[in-house]
Each structure stands twice: as structure tokens, then as C-alpha cells.
């Protein structure tokens, strides 16, 4: 067997010199032809020989290289690509970052109008925007496939067009989170199980009574992907508070125990759907949000959002909202 390998190696090493020697011999033969026309025909024939050094690689044609697959949504959002890990203390998007200069919410009554409400005449048209970032605090916790993250989301509603009320900010929600993200690397029924996130979530609006709203939750989220589809199954358990300190004791009746967030990508377009239900037979309440975005310039896309249901923000958690808005969204950055 060793002799066979040696013979093959010798032939491979000798092949280029043999080709060159053959070409040189052909040139000498053509030069010895006395008739000009015959000599030219000889040179033309020699020039038409295939150049083995530049011949196409038949194996490459038979087995074309597969195009590199696009990095998935959850891989970007949770830094799962081990070949390009960002490391700790790098700010990346958590949820969507968007600005909608124009939204319209029709037919909603504010929960505390009049003397208790800071804005006596609320305009149905307002600006809505969201800022949502996170950073990794601890990578590969205890040497395992899990990371510790801190995330912060802020969502605001600005009565920019309400000149009579001096264009105030109507509501702002502050939402810090501490999340331990596991990377299961499982495949179930053809579906990739990308992430399992466990953590603590606080959300409040920083307002004095009677407009104060806040709650604390233990959260468990599962991230799934298949092709262009992404689904996040989010569940939570509200941490009990004393009756005297609870600003919104019935919030579970409106927001329920969790939500489903899904995305579908088609070419450069992204379609989103969020679903919630309180799972109460007697007084059932459902909420959904649909959105659509596509790029209009580098890292910026046009964004359209429609929300229908309860809990769009903490101040209005028990009021039915029917809002549509248009604006711009920041794409994921590296």
C-alpha cells in the first residue's frame, strides 16, 4: 500500500514537467518544418491544445459549494454564533427599536380622566417609540452553554400634536430584566430549539398615585426557529404584592399568563404577530399585535404596527386600545 501511495505521489509531482516537456517538443517539431504554410498550421494546432493548468475543476462543477446560510433572528439576538461571539458588555438589540411619529388610537377612554389625570383632553394622535437594549454580563456561566444578560426596554407615548396641553409625554414604561439564557441545541420535529430564558422582570411607569402602575414577574421564555419562521413562547408568574402596595391587582385578568411572539421573513420583509389571552372562561380577553417592516436604507426600515386589545402600556392596561401607527425601525446591528 505504501508503494502505491509513493507511485501516485511521484506521478502527481511529475505531471506538470511532463506537460511542459510535451509542449516544448511540439515547438521544436514545428520549427523544423521548412514550408511556411505547413509550419503555421503546426503552430496553430499546438496553440489549440487544452491548457491543463487552467482547466476547470470538474469536481467543483459536480459538487458546487452551498451558499452560506443567513444568521437566524435568535442567533443574532442572543449571540449564539460561536464563530463571532460579541463578548461581554456589548450593547445589542433586545426587542424592537422603533419610532412612530404618527399613531392613531380610536375610541379609548383613559382610566383616570378629569381631576386625577394630568392631561384633561387626550389627543387620539400621538407619537409612540420604543428603545430596547441588552448586554451580556457573564458568558458561559459556570462553564456551561448559558449566558447571563441584563436588558432594558423603555416605551413612551408623546402627545406631540396636543398643543393645547403643551405636548406632554402621556405615559412612559420602564422595564429592566435579568435573564439567564440557556442554549439547548435541540431539534424537535424539525424545529430548532435555540433558547430557554429564565429571569426576573420589573415594569413600572414611575408615576405618583393614583396613576402609579408596576408589577414584578418571574419569566420563562422558549425560542424556536424553522427556516424563515421564529416563535418565542413567553410565560410569566406575577410576584405577589400586599394589597396596600398593589397599584394594579387585576392586571393578570387583562394580560394573562404569557404571550406568543412570532416573526416570518420573506426576502427583505419581516412580518410579526403577537398573541395574548387571559384564559378566563367567564370574562375572556384577547390581544393581538401585527407589524410589518422592510428596509428603506442601511439599518433603517419602514415600520407599520397595529395593536388591538389590552395592556399596550401600564397606564391603560385595563382599557381596550385600537391603535395603528407608521414610522421607522432600526435593523439589528453587529
The set of catalytic residues is: 202, 204
Identify the residue whose cell numbers are 386589545: 309
Q: How many helices (H) and strands (E) does the chain have?
A: 5, 14
For residue 98, what are the CA distances in angstroms to 94, 206, 332?
A: 12, 22, 12
Q: What is the Cα–Cα distance from 164 to 316, expressed in whole angstroms?
A: 22
As a whole number of angstroms, the distance between CA 72 and CA 292 comes to: 18
If DSSP codes are grouped into helix, strand and coil, which group holds residue 88? coil
Among 311, 305, 310, CA closest to 324 = 305
User: Taking Cα atoms as reference points, which of 226, 237, 291 lies closest to residue 261?
Assistant: 291
Pairwise CA distance, residues 191 & 87, whole Å: 27
Q: H or E element: which one contains 103?
A: strand 97-105
**For residues 170 and 160, is the Cβ–Cβ distance under 8 A?**
no
- DSSP letter string, 211-229: S--EEEEEEEEEEEEETTE
Give CA separation, 149 vs 82, 129, 133, 181, 224, in Å: 17, 23, 10, 7, 19
Per the document, the length of the chain is: 334
φ, ψ of residue 29 to 5 degrees: the values are -65, -40
Cβ neighbours of residue 22 closer than 8 Å, sequence gap 6 or more: none
299 preceded by a cis bond (ω within 30 of 0): no
Alpha-carbon separation of residue 61 from 54, 55, 56, 66 (angstroms) = 14, 12, 8, 12
Amino acid at each position: 500500500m505504501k508503494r502505491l501511495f509513493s507511485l501516485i505521489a511521484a506521478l502527481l509531482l511529475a505531471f506538470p514537467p511532463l506537460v511542459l516537456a510535451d509542449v516544448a517538443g511540439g515547438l521544436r517539431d514545428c520549427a523544423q518544418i521548412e514550408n511556411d504554410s505547413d509550419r503555421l498550421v503546426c503552430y496553430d494546432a499546438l496553440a489549440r491544445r487544452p491548457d491543463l493548468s487552467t482547466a476547470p475543476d470538474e469536481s467543483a462543477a459536480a459538487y458546487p459549494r452551498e451558499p452560506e446560510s443567513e444568521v437566524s433572528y435568535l442567533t443574532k439576538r442572543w449571540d449564539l454564533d460561536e464563530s463571532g461571539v460579541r463578548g461581554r458588555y456589548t450593547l445589542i438589540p433586545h426587542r424592537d427599536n422603533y419610532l412612530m411619529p404618527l399613531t392613531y388610537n380610536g375610541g379609548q377612554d383613559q382610566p383616570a380622566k378629569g381631576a386625577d389625570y394630568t392631561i384633561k383632553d387626550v389627543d387620539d394622535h400621538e407619537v409612540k417609540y420604543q428603545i430596547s437594549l441588552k448586554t451580556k454580563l457573564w458568558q458561559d456561566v459556570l462553564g456551561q452553554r448559558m449566558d447571563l444578560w441584563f436588558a432594558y426596554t423603555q416605551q413612551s407615548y408623546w402627545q406631540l400634536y396636543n398643543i393645547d396641553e403643551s405636548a406632554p409625554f402621556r405615559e412612559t414604561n420602564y422595564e429592566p430584566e435579568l435573564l439567564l439564557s440557556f442554549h439547548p441545541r435541540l431539534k424537535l420535529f424539525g424545529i430548532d430549539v435555540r433558547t430557554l430564558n429564565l429571569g426576573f422582570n420589573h415594569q413600572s411607569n414611575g408615576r405618583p398615585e393614583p396613576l402609579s402602575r408596576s408589577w414584578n414577574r418571574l419569566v420563562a421564555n422558549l425560542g424556536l426557529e424553522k427556516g424563515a419562521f421564529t416563535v418565542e413562547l413567553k410565560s410569566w408568574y406575577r410576584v405577589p404584592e400586599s394589597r396596600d402596595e398593589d397599584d394594579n391587582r387585576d392586571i393578570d385578568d387583562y394580560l394573562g399568563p404569557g404571550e406568543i411572539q412570532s416573526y416570518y421573513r420573506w426576502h427583505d420583509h419581516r412580518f410579526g404577530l403577537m398573541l395574548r389571552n387571559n384564559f378566563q372562561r367567564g370574562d375572556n380577553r384577547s390581544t393581538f399585535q401585527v407589524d410589518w417592516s422592510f428596509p428603506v436604507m442601511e439599518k433603517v426600515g419602514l415600520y407599520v404596527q397595529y395593536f388591538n386589545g389590552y395592556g399596550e402600556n401600564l397606564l391603560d392596561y385595563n382599557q381596550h386600545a385600537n391603535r395603528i401607527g407608521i414610522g421607522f425601525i432600526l435593523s439589528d446591528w453587529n
